[in-house]
């Protein structure tokens, strides 16, 4: 495996040793190929962003998103495609989530199995793609903004899923991708105390998928709740699309 410090990138102030510690090699970046050096630079700059700036800079987030997709899905996303899909950023909504084309619920779940290990995932439904319908489709790449909170939005506690417009809430696909991005950045899981009601999605019976991290069982769980019920340990995550 090649040494990243030998790469011909003129990146002042970056720490390539940190990127190497995260498991990146020259071969990983070369998969982006020379004609797409903008994506390679975005990966490097995004990964090297200081901790205090993480989750805030749009450009840094784009770099980390490209890195996550390449590492765990093999998809090579273009900076231009992400920029064109960006909705307007609103105050308080600082976490960018990009859903690449064909990232179905099953594909998102399988990606987390690759990232965390199959033993760290648990779903009560075997085939999510045949069960879940989301308000946003994955036929082409799109992006949303949400609040950058470890636990589901405290602003939305004690409200039912039906209280919110579906297009203003995270879907199951988006919440699963958020899990992968957040862990890649922090080494921690989302929703260890509460769980996210993915109100942008429904099953055939109108139930809503929920996602949480079970610290006792050490698994990311996908489960189900009723759209007209209030739950003290859950909340909808609002989204700007």
Residue 59 in any domain: the answer is no
Helix (H) or strand (E) holding 123: strand 121-123
Asked if 78 and 45 count as a contact pair (C-beta separation under 8 A), the reply is no
Is 229 part of a structural domain of the chain?
yes
Looking at the structure of the chain, the number of domains it has is 1
- Residue 171: how many other CB atoms lie within 10 Å: 31
- The 10s digit of each residue's pLDDT in 127-141 is 998 899 999 999 999
How much is the pTM?
A: 0.85
Residue whose entry in the numeric block shows the structure tokens 């139930």: 207
Position 44 in a domain: no
How would you write the pLDDT of the chain (241 residues) with one tens digit per residue?
Answer: 455 555 554 443 444 554 555 556 667 666 655 545 677 777 766 665 655 555 568 888 888 898 899 889 989 898 889 999 999 999 999 999 999 999 999 999 999 999 999 999 999 888 998 899 999 999 999 999 999 999 999 999 999 999 999 999 999 999 999 999 999 888 999 999 999 999 999 999 999 999 999 999 999 999 999 999 998 899 999 999 9
Residue 202 covered by a domain = yes
Q: Give domain status of residue 47, yes or no.
A: no
148-177 confidence digits (pLDDT tens): 999 999 999 999 999 999 999 999 999 999
Query: What is the number of other CB atoms lying within 10 angstroms of the CB of residue 24?
Result: 20
158 within domain boundaries: yes
- Extract the tokens encoding 154: 């405290």
SS3 210: strand
Asked, for residue 5, whether it belongs to a domain, the answer is no
Q: For residue 22, tell me if it sits in a domain.
A: no
| Domain of residue 118, residue span | 86-240
């Amino acid at each position: 495996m090649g040494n990243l410090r030998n790469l011909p990138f003129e990146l002042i102030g970056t720490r390539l040793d940190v990127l190497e510690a995260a498991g990146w090699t020259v071969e990983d970046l070369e998969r982006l190929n020379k004609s797409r050096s903008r994506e390679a630079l975005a990966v490097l700059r995004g990964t090297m962003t200081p901790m205090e700036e993480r989750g805030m800079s749009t450009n840094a987030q784009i770099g980390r998103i490209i890195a996550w997709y390449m590492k765990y899905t093999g998809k090579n996303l273009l900076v231009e495609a992400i920029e064109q899909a960006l909705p307007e950023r609103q105050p308080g909504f600082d976490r960018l989530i990009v859903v690449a084309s064909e990232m179905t619920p099953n594909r998102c779940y399988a990606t987390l199995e690759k990232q965390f290990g199959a033993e760290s995932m648990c779903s009560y439904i075997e085939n999510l793609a045949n069960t879940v319908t989301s308000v946003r489709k994955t036929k082409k790449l799109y992006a949303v903004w949400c609040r950058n909170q470890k636990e589901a939005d405290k602003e939305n506690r004690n409200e039912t899923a039906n209280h919110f417009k579906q297009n203003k809430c995270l879907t199951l696909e988006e919440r699963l991708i958020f899990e992968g991005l957040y862990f890649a950045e922090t080494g921690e899981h989302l929703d260890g105390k509460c769980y996210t009601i993915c109100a942008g999605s429904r099953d055939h019976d109108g139930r809503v998928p929920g996602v949480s991290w079970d610290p006792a069982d050490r698994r990311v769980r996908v489960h189900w709740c009723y759209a007209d019920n209030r739950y003290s340990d859950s909340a909808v995550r609002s989204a700007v699309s």
